[in-house]
């Protein structure tokens, strides 16, 4: 099994030692007396130098037949060289072809970013061989790890909830029906009901990182029909502020983690994006304050309505200037735009104890305090036009003692998109799903 990546050898390889490299043939340069082969793996490229008289005849023969994207195993002696890419090269003793390409690739690996996004997504497994593309998913892996690290350090229990469910989580028609033997079923819109169940079941603090499905016919740069959500729910809270502090702590940890992580920092530098601005405390602006701020900036949002994408971007400009922050909590959303399980503001029932977290002008987390009182929750469901009989499996959680609780859902792809300032959320999803895309 492969033990070393190209980066390991280039950074820590000993001059004159023998190493084995596995990867794809990135380029072949034939200068007559000497041939240079660049072998690429997920960590980078390393140069193989082939010169008649310095390598076995068998190596020369194999090298003559190599094509780009052939998969090879190269064993040889490592030599440090200032002229070589990465500062080192290998003089091969053997080259084994593990797999030959059948035909030339349909996209140019090294310049795949120049291709149209639909073309890249059609040939995604080739597109990601481009180190610049592959690094997005390295970053995504580390961001997910950092979220998990934060929650576990704060004594949250990781749970794993069903993705085939008997009822719609959020209500409405934005669900995918599935065939489940002789019963009606749906793909889960979120783990909302089940993470609340986790709190009420006695785990008190729970989180999950898993897929969610939304049958929304959106064709925007920020929507997917399937994405990964980082969800948390915490019990025995005193107020909405407890829920906000968890979200703030999680994002602060993630951003600090990626800037401490050498490879993640390299990726950020390669994408040429400025550092994320994190203040000592994320600003909190009520949506009613936001209406006034936006109005002064020339953007009119009808009182009691949700914010649109333009408004979110404008609020970012405001908080960046006023608070030197890339983050802002917008709190107290109208009852009419929030789900039935949101706790209403006890001082004004038209508003809720809820929030969106905006990161560089994009909503990346939505949450709030939940209604934990059975009769109030049932009444709110009826007020939203829902049939409480259809929600029996959820409402019964609250009959036998439910602590005050709240939580949020965080879009993993959106977080990565904003860290790297990607133009389209599909770039942050390995195999994105939208209303038209079902393959590969």
**Has residue 21 been placed in a domain?**
yes
pLDDT, tens only, 339-385: 999 999 999 999 999 999 999 999 999 999 999 999 999 999 999 99
Q: What pLDDT score does 350 carry?
A: 97
Nearest to residue 374, comparing CAs of 408, 351, 400? 400
Task: Give me the residue label for tokens 């908080």.
Answer: 319
Residue 132 sits in the same domain as residue 66? no
CATH code (residue 362): 3.30.930.10
Number of structural domains the chain divides into: 2
Which two three-digit tokens encode residue 218?
């959106």
Q: Are residues 182 and 318 in the same domain?
A: yes
pLDDT of residue 334: 98
Same domain, 194 and 136: yes
Q: What is the pLDDT of residue 218?
A: 78
> Are residues 395 and 257 part of one domain?
yes
Alpha-carbon distances of 236 from 13, 248, 405, rounded to whole Å: 53, 18, 6
Q: Is residue 113 part of a domain?
A: no
Same domain, 87 and 184: no
DSSP letters spanning 120-179: HHHTHHHHTTSHHHHHHHHHHHHHHHHHHHHHHHTTPEE----SEESS-SS-SS---EEE
Q: Please say whether the beta carbons of 350 and 334 come within 8 A.
A: yes
Question: What pLDDT, on a 0 to 100 scale, did the predictor assign at position 171?
Answer: 58
d(C-alpha 183, C-alpha 331), whole Å: 39
Q: Is there a single domain that holds both residue 71 and residue 208?
A: no
Question: Does any domain span residue 112?
Answer: no
pLDDT in tens, the chain (440 residues): 899 999 999 999 999 999 999 999 999 999 988 999 999 999 999 999 999 999 999 999 999 999 999 999 999 999 999 999 999 999 999 999 999 999 999 999 988 889 999 999 999 999 999 999 999 999 999 999 999 999 999 999 999 999 999 877 665 558 999 999 999 899 999 999 999 999 999 999 999 999 999 998 878 999 999 999 999 999 999 999 999 999 999 999 999 999 999 999 999 999 999 999 999 999 999 999 999 999 999 999 999 999 999 999 999 999 999 999 999 999 999 999 999 999 999 999 999 999 999 999 999 999 999 999 999 999 999 999 999 998 999 999 999 999 999 999 999 999 999 999 999 999 999 999 999 999 99
Look at residue 436 and tell me if it is in a domain. Answer: no
Judgement on whether residues 142 and 222 belong to the same structural domain of the protein:
yes
Task: Verify that 142 and 289 share a domain, yes or no.
Answer: yes
Q: Where residue 51 sits, what CATH number does that domain have? A: 2.40.50.140
In a shared domain, residues 170 and 206: yes
260 in the same domain as 143: yes
pLDDT value for 216:
85
In this prediction, residue 169 carries a pLDDT of 63
Alpha-carbon span 243 to 239, nearest angstrom: 8
Which stretch of DSSP H or E encloses residue 312?
Answer: helix 309-323
The answer as to whether 27 is a domain residue is: yes
What is the domain range of residue 380? 127-428
Helix 262-270 to helix 240-260 angle, to the nearest 10 degrees?
80
Looking at the fold, whether 92 and 204 belong to one and the same domain comes out as no
Q: Say whether 418 sits in a helix, a strand or coil.
A: helix
Strand partners, 231: 208, 409
Say if 35 falls within a structural domain.
yes
| Token code pair at residue 19 | 């190493």
Please check whether residue 122 lies inside any domain of the structure: no
Same domain, 76 and 140: no
Residue 133 domain flag:
yes
The residue out of 62, 80, 99 marking a domain boundary is 99
């Amino acid at each position: 099994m492969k033990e070393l990546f190209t980066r390991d050898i280039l950074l820590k390889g000993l001059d004159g030692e023998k190493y084995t490299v596995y990867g794809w043939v990135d380029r072949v340069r034939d200068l007559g007396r000497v041939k240079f082969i660049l072998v690429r793996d997920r960590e980078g490229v390393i140069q193989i130098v082939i010169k008649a008289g310095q390598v076995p005849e068998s190596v020369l023969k194999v090298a003559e037949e190599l094509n780009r994207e052939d998969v090879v195993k190269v064993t040889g002696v490592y030599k440090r060289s200032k002229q070589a890419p990465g500062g080192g090269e290998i003089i091969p003793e053997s080259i084994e072809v593990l797999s030959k390409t059948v035909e030339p690739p349909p996209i140019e690996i090294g310049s795949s970013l120049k291709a149209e996004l639909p073309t890249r997504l059609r040939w995604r497994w080739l597109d990601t061989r481009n180190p610049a593309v592959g690094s997005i998913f390295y970053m995504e892996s580390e961001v997910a790890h950092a979220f998990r690290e934060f929650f576990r350090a704060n004594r949250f229990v990781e749970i794993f909830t069903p993705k085939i469910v008997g009822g719609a989580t959020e209500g409405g028609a934005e669900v995918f029906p599935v065939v489940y033997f002789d019963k009606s079923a749906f793909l889960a819109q979120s783990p909302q009901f089940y993470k609340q169940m986790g709190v009420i079941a006695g785990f008190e603090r729970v989180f999950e990182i898993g897929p969610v499905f939304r049958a929304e016919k959106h064709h925007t740069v920020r929507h997917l029909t399937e994405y990964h959500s980082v969800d948390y729910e915490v019990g025995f809270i005193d107020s909405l502020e407890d829920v906000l502090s968890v979200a703030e702590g999680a994002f602060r940890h993630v951003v600090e983690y990626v800037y401490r992580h050498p490879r993640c920092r390299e990726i950020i530098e390669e994408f040429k994006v400025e550092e994320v601005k994190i203040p000592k405390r994320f600003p909190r602006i009520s949506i009613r304050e936001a209406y006034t701020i936006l109005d002064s900036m020339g953007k009119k949002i009808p009182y009691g309505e949700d914010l649109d994408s333009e408004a979110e971007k404008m609020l970012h400009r405001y908080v960046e200037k006023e608070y030197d922050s890339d983050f802002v909590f917008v709190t107290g959303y109208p009852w009419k735009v929030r789900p039935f399980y949101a706790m209403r503001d006890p001082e004004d029932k038209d508003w809720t104890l809820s929030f969106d977290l905006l990161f560089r002008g994009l909503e990346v987390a939505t949450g709030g305090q939940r209604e934990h009182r059975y009769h109030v929750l049932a009444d709110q469901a009826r007020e939203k036009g829902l049939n409480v009989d259809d929600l029996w499996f959820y409402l019964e959680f609250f009959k036998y003692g439910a602590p005050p609780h709240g939580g949020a859902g965080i879009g993993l792809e959106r977080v990565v998109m904003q860290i790297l300032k990607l133009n389209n959320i599909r770039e942050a999803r390995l195999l994105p799903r939208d209303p038209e895309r079902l393959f590969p």
